[in-house]
Amino acid sequence: MSRNRPPSASLTSISTRTAAACMLGAAIIMMAVLSPGLARAADAPADSTAPLPEVLNVSLLLSAQVDRLSPGLAGLGTSVDTQGPAGGAELDFNVVEFHVPRETAFGSIHVYGRILYSHRTLMQDTTSSVSGATGQEIISDARCAELMGGLRVGFPVISRGSLAISRVYLKYEANSIFSKDTDSDLLNVTTYAVGFERSSGPLQGSFFELGYGQNGVFGSTYEKKRWKVHTMVQTLLTRGDPAKRNRGTLTGYGELYLDSDNKSGPDALRVMVGLKLNTVGLVQAVQGLLGI
């Protein structure tokens, strides 16, 4: 083989049944977390501590992560984990809000992006220099720079007056992963997804989504026809002052990615837990301290 790097860790592989169970369990948990008070939402009083509507949000990220790749029946042994820190920045821009028939709250179109540096577990195709036979190998602890961007269109499903409490959304997302630890320096990931998000209140920004697309992390042999679950729960740890139009500055979050071909091929599970520092909120806090 052109590369010969043994796995650095060995754990029980994720079967298709386990992947399906994780998807179902995540869906049930997130629907319970993100949609509390469905029957009484319209009559609930306004939450003066809720995050303010934001047109532009730029945050710095720092998290701990576990990135696991299970080869399934690809003949590459057992699962391989990569653990370590991840850091970067994300941007969310509310481009426009639009009227939705028979709704008092507005829908919205968002453009968003994320830049992240982390260590990942990747799979790549290999070719024997002797026989010319092709295969796959798993590379652990690969240094990666991830550049992601997407478009999200949301429609209110729970609202209070003109305030959308929860939304369903459709999205398209493209992700490029740069790594010098693989034969291919650039891996592409694309996703089409439908999701459910909490758009106001203490859990603003939390979501659950189900997607479909391709993922170059698995090499050209297994990159297509991938099913994906992506969920995140986040909450403000420091709140702003609505009277002064200040945002909270620090958010805690937990994020989970599950990627499966729903067959005998390789699967991946990625978990991140960390903090987000809202740079706009930080500037507003400094201005408040200085009396500007």
How many structural domains are present in the chain? 1
For residue 239, tell me if it sits in a domain: yes
**pLDDT number for residue 2:** 39
For residue 4, tell me if it sits in a domain: no
Q: How confident is the model at residue 6 (pLDDT cuts 50, 70, 90)?
A: very low
For residue 247, tell me if it sits in a domain: yes
**pLDDT number for residue 225:** 93
pTM recorded for the entire structure: 0.77
For residue 47, tell me if it sits in a domain: no
For residue 43, tell me if it sits in a domain: no
Counting Cα atoms < 13 Å in the Cβ hemisphere of 17 gives 0
pLDDT tens for 26-61 read 544 444 444 443 333 333 344 434 444 568 889 999
For residue 280, tell me if it sits in a domain: yes
Smallest CA-to-CA distance from 5 within 268, 182, 134 is with 182
For residue 45, tell me if it sits in a domain: no
**pLDDT number for residue 285:** 67
| Burial label, 250 (beta-carbon count in 10 A; 0-12, 13-18, 19+) | middle
Query: What are the respective helix, strand and coil percentages of the chain, to the nearest 5?
Result: 15, 55, 30
Domain residue limits at 108: 16-36+62-290
Percent of the chain with pLDDT over 90: 45
**pLDDT number for residue 75:** 59
Smallest CA-to-CA distance from 280 within 50, 47, 55 is with 55
For residue 57, tell me if it sits in a domain: no
**pLDDT number for residue 235:** 92
**pLDDT number for residue 247:** 58
Phi, psi of 143 (to 5 degrees): -75, 125
**pLDDT number for residue 292:** 66
Residue 214, SS3 per DSSP: strand
How far from chain centre, in Å, is Cα 91?
13
